[in-house]
């Protein structure tokens, strides 16, 4: 029997390129969702960050609503809502509304990270540190509220009704870049997505731990896991390396605590020191970029190593056209746009 066909999905962070308004970056995310739906991708997720000039998707639930209203097939969701900033009840209400807008197509990815620096996190929720400790319980409550299931016995909010009532419920995922998220997802019987673009080396262990500790739930009797990886495809390996210079500089800036708009490839690496160049060389050595066959082979190898049937792809480039081209090339390599999904 042949191996299952690898599914591809997308994570979009609303990256800002120099000279492009932050409002434009938000609209480009919605445009990219339509583009990826036409190409046959399975899901389109958006992230949450605060106080950054590089990635400006600060309200993923609003982006999901906009994408849900303009798409018809692709699943749309968050990767993720950063739960320590918010009331679990309000998150549940928001995603019940989204489920009403796009029945059967909404994913609610929940993360524990702040997605920003300390002062901004405090401004979002002065009690965020306490909410971090309650993360597993808050995820449990959201699962109940979004699905219509009862809360835990003796819960003080057991009589609260969450509107609107919907026949279905969003898929709740736990996100993480360490073993912690994998353990929470396993304990609650939920799907897990590892942020391999942050910590690729830990992906295999986290996914294996999720499977090992998994407690079956009614909706998910067997463990479901995926990983989000950075990948950039272009017409040739040389062209891809050129376009990737933007991403390499952005990663270098992140290491230095700098969050600025993306630079054009011709300028991105023009003024770096020898030490910074050594770091760039390491970034490029580990990254997935190249022509279609090169990228596809690397993605298939990762999926086989981790034992997953789906990968979520993150792509940054200075020009939105290069991001679109990359998704087009990967869609052809993985034969996504079949008659059944086009």
What number is the average pLDDT over the span 19-34?
A: 97
Q: Is residue 339 part of a domain?
A: no
Per-residue DSSP letter, 201: G
Q: How far apart are CA 138 and CA 273, in angstroms?
A: 46
Q: How far apart are CA 333 and CA 240, in angstroms?
A: 16
Cis peptide before 164 (omega within 30 of 0): yes
- E strand or H helix at 317: none
Q: Is residue 24 part of a domain?
A: yes
- Asked if the model's pLDDT at residue 337 lies above 90, the reply is no
Query: Given the structure tokens 């998707």, which residue do they identify?
Result: 57
Average pLDDT, the chain: 95
In the numeric block, which tokens belong to residue 156? 């003080």
- Asked if the model's pLDDT at residue 3 lies above 80, the reply is no
Q: Supply φ then ψ for residue 51, to 5 degrees.
A: 75, 20
What number is the average pLDDT over the span 26-46?
A: 98
Q: Is residue 15 part of a domain?
A: yes
What number is the average pLDDT over the span 278-304?
A: 97
As for how many domains the chain has, the answer is: 1
State the pLDDT at residue 342: 39
Q: Is residue 246 part of a domain?
A: no
The CATH number for 211's domain is 3.20.20.30
Q: Is residue 253 part of a domain?
A: no
Q: Which domain holds residue 173?
A: 7-238+288-333
Cβ-Cβ contacts under 8 Å for 15 (sequence gap 6 or more): 25, 54, 55, 262, 316
Band of the pLDDT at 231, cuts 50, 70, 90? very high
Q: Is residue 268 part of a domain?
A: no
- Asked if the model's pLDDT at residue 236 lies above 90, the reply is yes
State the pLDDT at residue 340: 43
Q: Is residue 307 part of a domain?
A: yes
Q: C-alpha distances in angstroms, 314 versus 47, 152, 249? A: 11, 36, 16
Residue pLDDT, tens place only, 4-23 = 689 999 999 999 999 999 99
CB–CB of 175/60 below 8 Å? no
Per-residue DSSP letter, 340: T
Q: How far does Cα 17 stand from its chain's mean position?
A: 20
Q: How far apart are CA 289 and CA 176, in angstroms?
A: 23
Q: Is residue 129 part of a domain?
A: yes
- E strand or H helix at 224: none
The whole model's pTM is what? 0.95
Q: Return the percentage of the chain with pLDDT > 90, whole number.
A: 90
């Amino acid at each position: 029997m042949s191996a299952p066909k690898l599914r591809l999905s997308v994570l979009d962070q609303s990256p800002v390129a120099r000279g492009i308004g932050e409002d434009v970056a938000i609209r480009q995310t919605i445009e990219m969702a339509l583009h990826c739906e036409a190409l046959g991708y399975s899901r389109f997720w958006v992230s949450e960050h605060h106080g950054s000039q590089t990635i400006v998707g600060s309200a993923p639930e609003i982006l999901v609503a906009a994408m849900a209203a303009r798409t018809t097939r692709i699943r749309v969701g968050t990767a993720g809502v950063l739960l320590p900033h918010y009331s679990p009840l309000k998150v549940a209400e928001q995603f019940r509304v989204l489920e009403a807008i796009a029945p059967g197509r909404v994913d609610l990815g929940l993360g524990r990270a702040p997605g920003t620096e300390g002062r901004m996190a405090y401004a979002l929720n002065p009690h965020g540190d306490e909410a971090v400790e309650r993360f597993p319980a808050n995820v449990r409550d959201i699962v109940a509220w979004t699905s219509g299931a009862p809360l835990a016995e003796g819960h003080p909010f057991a009589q609260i009704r969450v509107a609107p009532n919907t026949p279905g419920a969003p898929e709740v995922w736990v996100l993480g870049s360490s073993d912690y998220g994998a353990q929470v997802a396993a304990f609650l019987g939920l799907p897990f997505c590892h942020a391999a673009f942050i910590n690729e080396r830990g992906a295999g262990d986290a996914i294996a731990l999720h499977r090992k500790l998994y407690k079956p739930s009614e909706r998910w009797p067997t463990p479901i896991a995926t990983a989000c990886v950075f990948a950039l495809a272009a017409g040739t390996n040389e062209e891809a390396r050129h376009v990737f210079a933007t991403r390499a500089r952005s990663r270098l800036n992140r290491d230095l605590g700098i969050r600025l708009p993306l630079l054009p490839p011709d300028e991105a690496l023009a003024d770096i020191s020898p030490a910074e160049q050594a770091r760039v060389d390491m970034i490029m050595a580990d990254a997935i970029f190249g022509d279609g066959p090169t990228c596809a082979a690397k993605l298939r190898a990762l999926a086989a190593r981790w034992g997953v049937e789906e990968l979520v792809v993150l792509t940054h480039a200075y020009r939105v056209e290069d991001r679109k081209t990359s998704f087009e090339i990967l869609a052809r390599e993985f034969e996504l746009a079949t008659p059944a999904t086009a």
